[in-house]
Amino acid sequence: MPRWRARRCCGGGLGLPALVVLAAALAPPGAVAQGQPQAVSQPLADPPAAAQAAAEAAGVAEAARRTARSTAEWLARGVDSWFGDKPFTEGGKVTDGRLSVSLLKRQGESVDASVRFNARFRLPNLTERAYVLFGRDDQREIVSDTPEAFSRQQRLLKENTADRSFFAGVGLQWRDNVDFRLGFRGGIKPYMQGRYRRLWQVGPADLVEFRQTVFWSLADHVGSTTAISFEHALSPHLAARWLNAATLTERKRKFEWSSVLGLYRAFPEHRLLSLELPASGTQGSGVGASDYGVQLKWEQPTYRDWLLGEVVVGHFWPRPDRGAQRGRAWAVGAGLKLKF
């Protein structure tokens, strides 16, 4: 998302229906059922019953967040104990915790549902600049350090279930803009990364960000991902961004590229409307862009600032290879993201 956006705060949201979806996904069996209002003969529930249902659903969401955070802290304490006897309470914390649930559907394909989990830990028994990563995500995107805007989920592309796996790693922040990571994903499959990031404020309303990642894995051997974005604030509430990335590996020898040009309009209560033109392809494929399109996205807090809802609709023109004609397909998606 554009860097000019302020942090989200409480505001109106998609409302109780989205909250109930998350509650049903995370609550213990029977918890949500118990929170359902009793059937009544009136066509509409009376206000006290509706208020009680809303309060119970909110309680389930609060409990889900506490459970996610306590589980992450329990894991962090266990890992931290491997490195020394210093109590976790002396400087340990969980940061960037995120649990997301999403559904997407492209025309002509089946519905794709995914659950992603990511968290970052600061451990008191490691050095001040060290941290631990843990989660469940697309292993290919984790290893290559693909920008989130180019994930298959964000481009409304169906994911291969086999690519979703747990990962864990240790990182070391060497300088403010350089860090190194060593991790494992999909079982005992090691990978390494060296990452460099730099920001330039080239004008009062212009920002350039450059990111270079060199990685190694058993599947790709040595590879690199280069990403650069240009952002321009058109007004206090409207910005444009052009983001580009390319990944090259020793195994494939031909780089995969992605690009997205977007307009982002911020509204009160930290809601965001996005219009994006994404495209992606592979060098030497003979088809130019293997997939390009246009998508409209709406995002806003739901219930609290830590529970975000998103809906997106898009139209795409895919052409996987030279032997195929360029097709066209509508796509829709929806998701919830819980921060802890």
- The per-residue pLDDT for range 28-83, each reduced to its tens digit, is 333 333 333 344 444 444 667 777 777 777 787 788 888 888 888 888 888 888 88
- Model pLDDT, residue 27: 37
pLDDT tens column, 137-148: 898 899 999 999
- Model pLDDT, residue 315: 98
Q: Three-state SS for 194?
A: strand
- Model pLDDT, residue 81: 85
Q: Three-state SS for 171?
A: strand
Return d(Cα 83, Cα 125) in angstroms, integer: 6
- Model pLDDT, residue 16: 31
What is the distance in angstroms between the CA of the first residue and the CA of the last residue of the chain?
Answer: 19
Give yes or no for a contact between 149 and 264, defined as CB atoms under 8 angstroms apart.
Answer: no
292: phi then psi, degrees, rounded to nearest 5? -145, 160
Give yes or no for a contact between 218 and 249, defined as CB atoms under 8 angstroms apart.
Answer: no
Return d(Cα 177, Cα 198) in angstroms, integer: 6
Which residues of the chain are under the pLDDT cut of 70? 1-47
Which residue is listed with tokens 């819980």?
338
SS3 content of the chain, % helix, strand, coil (to 5): 20, 50, 30
**In this structure, what token pair is assigned to residue 334?**
């929806």
Q: How far is CA 25 from the centre of its chain?
A: 18
Give yes or no for a contact between 101 and 335, defined as CB atoms under 8 angstroms apart.
Answer: yes
206: phi then psi, degrees, rounded to nearest 5? -125, 135
Helices vs. strands in the chain: H and E counts, helices first = 4, 14
Amino acid identity, residue 34? Q
Return d(Cα 95, Cα 177) in angstroms, integer: 18
Q: Pick the closest to residue 224 from 213, 237, 238, 239 (CA basis).
A: 213
- Model pLDDT, residue 34: 37
Give yes or no for a contact between 138 and 102, defined as CB atoms under 8 angstroms apart.
Answer: no
Q: Pick the closest to residue 136 from 61, 196, 72 (CA basis).
A: 72
247: phi then psi, degrees, rounded to nearest 5? -125, 130
Give yes or no for a contact between 294 and 302, defined as CB atoms under 8 angstroms apart.
Answer: no
237: phi then psi, degrees, rounded to nearest 5? -120, 0
Q: Pick the closest to residue 69 from 119, 122, 32, 26 (CA basis).
A: 119
